[in-house]
Amino acid sequence: KQEVTQIPAALSVPEGENLVLNCSFTDSAIYNLQWFRQDPGKGLTSLLLIQSSQREQTSGRLNASLDKSSGRSTLYIAASQPGDSATYLCAVNRPSNYQLIWGAGTKLIIKP
């Protein structure tokens, strides 16, 4: 059974720091992995999608990596800003169906 874990559950850092959010999964047989952010009371915004054959994806100050063999993905945020404050979620898409398996999220606070 695929399980997705995100550690830490919450993170508070001063503005300007580079930071890493972690996502781990128990079954390496994945189709792809997606990172999202969710602002309070809002829908989810898709940040990056990594296919199972890829090692990393980049978008602006965000870089997501994938290591299937170790069951890990990281989201690297460079030069953090207060506007990056949100809950970050990772989700794994299994090969067998359309259901995403979700982590519980990391609540990120960037202090000005």
Among 1, 14, 41, 53, binds other proteins (CB under 8 A): 41
Residue 73 in the binding site for other proteins (CB under 8 A): no
Q: For residue 90, give Cα distances in angstroms to 14, 32, 105, 111.
A: 23, 11, 7, 23
Here the tokens at position 55 are 């090692």
List of residues 6+ apart from 86 with CB closer than 8 A = 37, 38, 39, 107, 108
Stretch near other proteins under the rule CB under 8 A, chosen from 12-20, 21-29, 75-83, 97-105: 97-105
Residue 59 in the binding site for other proteins (CB under 8 A): no
If you search the block for the tokens 């898409």, which residue do you land on?
93
Residue 102 in the binding site for other proteins (CB under 8 A): yes
Residues that bind other proteins in the complex, under the rule CB under 8 A: 31-32, 34, 36, 41-46, 49, 89, 91, 93, 98-100, 102-105
